[in-house]
Structure formats: structure tokens, C-alpha cells
Amino acid sequence: MRLRASFLSLVSIRSYGKRAPAVQRHSAALALGIFALVWMGGMAGAGERTIKIVAVGDSLSAGYQLPAQDAFPIQLEKALKEKGLAVEVANAGVSGDTSTGGLARLDWSVPDGTDAVILELGANDMLRAIDPKVTREALTEIVRRLKARNIEVLLCGMLAPRNLGTDYTKAFDSIYPDLASQNGLLLYPFFLDGIATDAKLNQRDGMHPTTAGVAKIVQGILPKVEELMARVRAKTPS
């Protein structure tokens, strides 16, 4: 309303004699129009660009045996948008992929213009009892390449089953916190947290989440993804 009053003060209504009421109405309308343009411009300036995230993973990200719209990246994008966040989450999950496989396809899986990556690999390494040193080296190189491209990373941890022995589980489980600490990455300690042993949230194979299981994963990881987006925005020039 200050804008309207200031604009009207520039017009000497009295100087228009009998036309003063009409001039006043016209001036008021013009002032309100200017106010609307200023307000809309402010709103447009407050808008934020869409952050582009790629989920690089295995079947847990790809959405094994699930409708496409129920896969982790799709459910995650929907949850973020429901919170009013401008984001796109691309699905770069490949069923059966190991960390070495993810490294081999990294360059074409993560296109130019990507702001952040959710890195979810290692489950198949563990299931195949691949030497944890191999897994560590592959994940380390993936992180190195992404950081070189100025891409933020949220690392999703995985835990080895205890029946693989103490030495193996210790070596495998430590990969993720070590890598996150050494590279300043955000870490979600266990991607399957809250669903790994719940039959109601897993498919018949006991390893892959149902639609409800994926929703549980999204619920748990959401705060970390919001933090990931905040990191992207913090380094984006205004």
C-alpha cells in the first residue's frame, strides 16, 4: 500500500478540476498494476532452479520387480516435490551391478549438468563375497571422479551378513564410513535400515523391497537428501 500512496502523491489531483476523480481512479489502478508487477518480480526472483540428482545403484535403486513409478528414485522425487522442493531424480540403477560395474558405466550414467549423486552400490559385491578391497577401490574411484566434476555425493552404506565371518564383515562394513569421512561426504549408514529383516516390506526373495519397503527407505533417507540439496544450493552462485 505504500507504493500506491507514494505514486498518488506524485499527482496533483486538484490541478485536474472536474476530472480529478477520474484521474485519481486511473492513478490508483496504475499504482496497483505497478505493485503487482513488483510483487510478481519478487516471487520470480525467489524461485529456485531445479536440482538434478542421479541415483547410481543396483537393483535396490532400479526397482527390481516393481512398477516403474514405485522405484526408489521416482518415489524420492515425489516426496521431495511434495515438500515444495524443485528437484529431478534420475534412475541410474542397474540390477545385478557391482561397485566395479558402476565405475565402468559412471561417465554415461551421470550426464553433464548433474548436481548430485546418490551412490548406492556394494550389495552385490557382498552377496558374491568379493574382496572388500576391490569394493573399496571402486567406490573410492567413483567418488574421486564425481568430486572432480564438482558433483555432491550422498553415500548409501551397506552391511555384510554376519555369516560371512568377522574379518569380512569388519572389512566390508567399514568401507562406507571411512569413505565418507575421508572425502567429506554425506552418509546414510544403511540403505535398508528398517526393512532388511521385515518380511512385510520385502519381496518373496527376502532381499528386494516392496513398494511399501521403498517408501520406508525414502522416509528414512529424506532428511539426508534435503541436506544434499542444501549443499548444492550453498555452492551455487546467486
Count of structural domains within the chain: 2
Same domain, 112 and 204: yes
Residue numbers of the domain that contains 133: 51-235
pLDDT, one tens digit per residue, over 61-107 is 999 999 999 999 999 999 999 999 999 999 999 999 999 999 999 99
This prediction has a pTM of: 0.80
Catalytic residues: 59, 205, 208
Residues 191 and 75 grouped into a single domain: yes
Query: Within this chain, do residues 98 and 157 fall inside the same structural domain, yes or no?
Result: yes
How many CA atoms within 13 Å lie on the side-chain side of 140?
12
Residue 159 contacts residue 190 (beta carbons within 8 Å): yes
For 148-206, the pLDDT digits (tens) are 999 999 999 999 999 999 999 999 999 999 999 999 999 999 999 999 989 999 999 99
Beta strands per DSSP E along the chain: 51-57, 87-93, 116-120, 152-156, 186-188
Whether 223 has a pLDDT exceeding 50, the answer reads yes
Between 28 and 24, name the one with better pLDDT: 24
